[in-house]
Amino acid sequence: MRKRLPALALCASLAPLAYGQMPPQDTVKNAQDHPLLSRFEGAKMVGFETRNFDEIVLPAGRLGNVNARSDFVKKVPLEGKITRIAYNFPKERTSLEVMRNYEQALAKAGLKTVFACANEACGEGFGRSWLGDRVSSKFTSGNIEYWQPFNYGAVASRYLLAQGTRPDGTVVHAAIIVASPNGGKNGGVYTEIVESATMETGKVAANLDAAGMAKGIAAEGKVAVYGVYFDTGKADVKPDSKAALGEMAKLLQQDQKLKVYIVGHTDNQGVAAQNLDLSQKRAAAVAKVLATDYRIDAKRLEARGVASLAPVASNDTDAGREKNRRVELVKQ
């Protein structure tokens, strides 16, 4: 059975091209040039991938002998948003002309060259080592004709790594390798742009146990609990809150003198008055469960709702709003 092509390289046409012919159009659907850097005029996009947050290592030095093995003498490990793009450009153009245009564009955007090399100065095998790890026929839309410029041109390639900071503080690295037109093939440009990005957090919940809650109350007089769940707009405690409720009960059972306010918090979405009422009802629902199901003296529990009046994160993002929706135990 023939395998389906990956989503990163949806091919517009897999029909073979005449020898050395340029693709008539971009071969990747639903992709576009990176906002930082346009393509060389006349080039066609043949490969594209973007990852919102990942790690990558970019060469920042020639290929040489490092610790008795072939490797780049200097590398830059990075984390952030990664965009990979491959282009074919007409064989009538030279790698020098293409690279000079990229250099000028990067300089105009405020990026400074970290490392640059050409042909033999990059070290023997630089192009094949660098491109071989990044560019495959599968990446270039599944058509070997679009990959051949990188294969044939790897023996004579130019490389540039540049770095800069955008007005919003984002650190950007741009790696460009240009494979020369060779053997009657077109040329190839492969770019990797890495933008520093904050990883989305809160995707894994690690609910506090009773001991952790006790430490929080001892240190700050309160502790946030994120394992109590409600349906949107409702105040009924959901069954999957059992683990968090059990630890809250254990805390109160271990310290019989502890009295707490159970405080309900919401994000700022919706009508403030309704959120205030909802947060009060949710806090009361938690207190009721602790009293009825776990036999905690109701006199030790006092419910309060404060809606979005005490955020712990920005309400401008999904992650921040998620963090603001919580139940707190506050020592009386």
- Which pLDDT value is given to residue 207? 64
CB atoms under 10 Å from CB of 218, counted, come to 10
CB atoms under 10 Å from CB of 261, counted, come to 16
Which residues are bridge partners to 82 per DSSP?
51, 194
CB atoms under 10 Å from CB of 86, counted, come to 31
Domains of the chain: 7-195 (no CATH), 210-331 (3.30.1330.60)
Question: Distance between CA 227 and CA 211 in Å, rounded?
Answer: 15
pTM for the whole thing?
Answer: 0.59
Tokens of 213: 């809650």
pLDDT bin (cut points 50, 70, 90) of residue 102 is very high
Reduce the DSSP state of residue 55 to 3 states and report it. Answer: strand
For 328, phi then psi, to 5°, come to -115, 145
Span 151-194, pLDDT tens digits: 999 999 999 999 998 877 789 999 999 999 998 899 999 999 99
Span 39-89, pLDDT tens digits: 999 999 999 999 998 999 999 999 998 887 889 999 999 999 999 999 999
pLDDT bin (cut points 50, 70, 90) of residue 1 is very low
Flag the least confident range among 77-91, 100-114, 212-226, 246-260: 212-226
- Which pLDDT value is given to residue 148? 92
Contacts of 225 (CB under 8 A, 6+ apart): 207, 208, 213, 244, 248, 326, 327, 328, 329
Segment 240-264 shows an average pLDDT of 91
Q: Give, as one character, the DSSP assignment of residue 92.
A: T
What is the crossing angle of helices 242-254 and 272-293, to 10°? 60
Question: Distance between CA 327 and CA 78 in Å, rounded?
Answer: 37
315 within 8 A of 265, measured Cβ to Cβ: no
DSSP state letters, 169-204: S-EEEEEEEEEPP-TT--EEEEEEEEE--PPP--SS
pLDDT for residue 12 is more than 70: no
Segment 107-111 shows an average pLDDT of 92
Question: Distance between CA 155 and CA 316 in Å, rounded?
Answer: 50
287 within 8 A of 299, measured Cβ to Cβ: no
215 within 8 A of 178, measured Cβ to Cβ: no
Percent share of the chain, pLDDT over 70: 91
Reduce the DSSP state of residue 34 to 3 states and report it. Answer: strand
Tokens of 297: 């003296």
